[in-house]
Amino acid sequence: PELPIDAVFPFVHLERSFMHLCFHIYDVGFQSRNSEAGRSMVFVTALVLLALVLALNAVSINVRNRLKRRFAGDKF
């Protein structure tokens, strides 16, 4: 119902219930009574998870390359 992160101090509210994407895929895809109805939601959730992983990898590669160029002249 509510996200665990918001603009109200202390900003992270771990007492709120939330579900991460992998568990959402498992719960909707394998634990629901009508798995055919939730199939499209499983595919969309898997696509969002894949896009998130690819975006984080692209950002980390970009940061690594920038740091490598910045410190290329420094020898230890």
pLDDT digits (tens, 9 = 90+) for 20-61: 788 888 888 777 777 777 788 888 888 999 999 999 999 999
Taking the C-alpha atoms of residue 49 and residue 23, their distance in angstroms, rounded to an integer, is 11
User: Where in the chain are the domains?
Assistant: 1-76
Q: Which residue(s) pair with 12 in the sheet?
A: 5
pTM: 0.64
pLDDT value, residue 63 = 96
Residue 2: its pLDDT value, please? 64
SS3 58: helix
Confidence (pLDDT) at 61: 97
Radius of gyration of the chain (CA): 19
pLDDT class of 65 with cuts at 50, 70, 90: very high
Asked if residue 76 has pLDDT above 60, the reply is no
